Amino acid sequence: MDSAVTAAIAAADHRLAFLHANYGQRTEAQELRCFTALADHFAAEKLLVVDFPALRTIGGSSLTDPSIPVREGSPVEGVVPTSYVPFRNAHLLSAAASWAEVLGAGAVFVGAVWEDSSGYPDCRPAFYEAFEEAIRQGTRPETTIRIVTPVIALTKAEIVRRGVDLAVPFEKTWSCYQSEDRACGVCESCALRLKGFAEAGGRDPIPYRSQP
């Protein structure tokens, strides 16, 4: 959902190249289907699907290790949830920066959210500021790549409202951490998504097994 709204914001002023990551997550197949559908919707000029099998091998997350239960309910302030994939976003950003340099792209847009989120360490604004500097230090002198996080300070309700204004096809997005046919409605990600739609006064168009 956050990435789709970010893509809509980017589309206003940029040509689009879409990158997707498979890392052994529970909902890998459904996320890939949504990626393809959104790429078609936004008429992305280039697509890249990157596999990170090491993240599943490393484990340490309920998204990649089936023996770790997915936490259900709303986020707990100050507690990093089991769904945190250790340093995942650094892997994604590294691939995105490499591709951006090859394409000659000037910006990498990321749908990270910190204001109203699960509290993942690699979603903090300072992380993206530091990574942008790492890109500057580690690429060609003539390369300039900004990391743009347009929804990082928005609440979920604000993201929903912005998406509605931009005609984002929310029915082509997926947030659930543990189900691929119908969203579970109880995991932390579903809870945040449902809260956002409720506070925005909208109806979430994806199917759910249950809703609180």
The whole-number pLDDT of residue 212 equals 58
CB atoms under 10 Å from CB of 82, counted, come to 17
- CA 92-64-151 angle, to 5 degrees, is 40
What pLDDT score does 210 carry? Answer: 72
Burial class of residue 203 in the structure, from the number of CB atoms within 10 Å of its CB (0-12 exposed, 13-18 middle, 19+ buried): exposed
What is residue 115's predicted lDDT score, i.e. its pLDDT? 79
Per-residue model confidence (pLDDT) at position 211: 67
Q: Residue 141 contacts by C-beta under 8 Å, 6 or more apart in sequence?
A: none
CA distance 52 to 147: 21
The model's pTM is: 0.96
Measured CA to CA, the distance from residue 13 to residue 130 in angstroms comes to: 25
Q: How many CB atoms lie within 10 A of CB 140?
A: 7
d(CA 144, CA 132): 10
**pLDDT tens, residue order, the chain (212 aa):** 999 999 999 999 999 999 999 999 999 999 999 999 999 999 999 999 999 999 999 999 999 999 999 999 988 888 999 999 999 999 999 999 999 999 999 999 999 999 777 889 999 999 999 999 999 999 999 999 999 999 999 999 999 999 999 999 999 999 999 999 999 999 999 999 999 999 999 999 999 997 65
